[in-house]
């Protein structure tokens, strides 16, 4: 092989190696709107209710029509309400119907089945997964069984709905796993797409 061709080949190989080793997306340069916290409840969500001083069942699931059956007040429409709004509504009903005079009602959401994230691409199990407050990108990938063998871990698309529209950014999960970048908090409705490595 001529000396010039060998030199060109060496340069090409060196560049390819540099690209392969230094291909991490710089997550610090990615501009993504902070996740918005939406704690309203919906169909299938499960919450606990405690009325201080009353020995009642504590766990309730919201029906497809947005209603839930509760002790004393029976059917109550709660879909679209925040936990504190549910608490206020039940307290008001208990007083209006002269069941209790000054009840303390505590509501805590145990499971948000109505809120999901979507994970597609090169993971073990693509699909829709329940969203829980505090869910991060790395944890979400783990829920999907982790990356498969052809995943491009440093090119993961995250699509998020914001007040101004939909935005997609490219993130490096490798950089997060290696401690070079903080994990990314998700919000309900986020879509994750793991790109495929080109060999």
Q: Taking all residues of the chain, what is their mean pLDDT, rounded to a whole number? A: 87
CB 39 within 8 A of CB 133: yes
pLDDT in tens, 68-113: 999 999 999 999 999 999 999 999 999 999 999 999 999 999 888 8
> CA-to-CA distance for 148 and 196, rounded, in angstroms?
9
Q: Check: CATH 3.30.1950.10 for 46-111? A: yes
> CA-to-CA distance for 127 and 149, rounded, in angstroms?
18
| Extents of the domains making up the chain | 46-111, 115-199
CATH class in words for 115-199: alpha beta
Nearest to 62 by CA among 84, 72, 47: 47
- Give me the pLDDT at residue 20, please: 43
- In percent, the amount of the chain with pLDDT more than 70 equals 86
pLDDT of 198 over the 60 cut: yes
CB 98 within 8 A of CB 169: no
Averaged pLDDT for residues 121-141: 94
Averaged pLDDT for residues 10-32: 55
- Give me the pLDDT at residue 37, please: 81
pLDDT of 23 over the 70 cut: no
CB 117 within 8 A of CB 191: yes
Total-model pTM: 0.67
> CA-to-CA distance for 143 and 152, rounded, in angstroms?
18
pLDDT in tens, 26-75: 776 778 888 888 889 999 999 999 999 999 988 999 999 999 999 999 99
């Amino acid at each position: 092989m001529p000396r010039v061709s060998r030199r060109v080949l060496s340069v090409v190989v060196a560049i390819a190696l540099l690209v392969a080793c230094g291909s991490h997306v710089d997550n610090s340069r990615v501009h993504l709107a902070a996740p918005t916290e939406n704690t309203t409840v919906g169909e299938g969500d499960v919450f606990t209710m405690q009325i201080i001083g009353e020995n009642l069942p504590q766990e309730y699931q919201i029906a497809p029509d947005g209603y839930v059956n509760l002790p004393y007040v029976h059917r109550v429409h709660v879909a679209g309400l925040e936990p504190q709004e549910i608490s206020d509504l039940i307290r008001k009903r208990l007083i209006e119907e002269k069941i209790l005079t000054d009840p303390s009602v505590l509501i805590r959401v145990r499971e948000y089945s109505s809120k999901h994230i979507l994970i597609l691409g090169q993971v073990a199990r693509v699909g829709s997964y329940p969203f829980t407050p505090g869910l991060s990108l790395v944890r979400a990938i783990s829920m999907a069984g982790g990356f498969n063998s052809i995943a491009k871990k440093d090119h993961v698309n995250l699509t998020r709905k914001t007040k101004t529209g939909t935005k997609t950014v490219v993130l490096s999960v490798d950089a997060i796993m290696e401690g070079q970048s903080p994990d990314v908090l998700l919000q309900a409705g986020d879509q994750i797409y793991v790109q495929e490595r080109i060999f």
